[in-house]
Structure 1
Amino acid sequence: MGQQPSLVVVEGIGSYGAGLSDRVLLAGFPVAELSTMGSADRRGVGKTDDLDAARIARSVPSVDVDRLHRPRADGSRAAMRALVVAREQMTCERTRAVNSLTALVRTVELGVDLRKSLPCSQITAIATWRTRSEDATAATCRAEAVRLAKRIRGARCGVG
Structure 2
Amino acid sequence: MFGWEAPDLRIVSVEPAPTTFSCLEANLRSHLPGAVAVRSAVADRAGEATFTYYPRSTGNSGLFADQQADDENTRVFLRNTGIPEEYIGEMVKDLHRGIDMSVPTLTVSDLIRAHDLPEVSLLKIDVERAEHLVLAGIEDDHWPLIGHIVAEVHDPAGSGP
Compute the TM-score of the two structures, normalised by the length of structure 1: 0.24
Give the number of the structure whose alpha-carbon radius of gyration is greater: 1
TM-score, with length taken from structure 2: 0.24
Higher relative contact order (CA 8 A, sep 6+): 2
Richer in helix (by share): 1
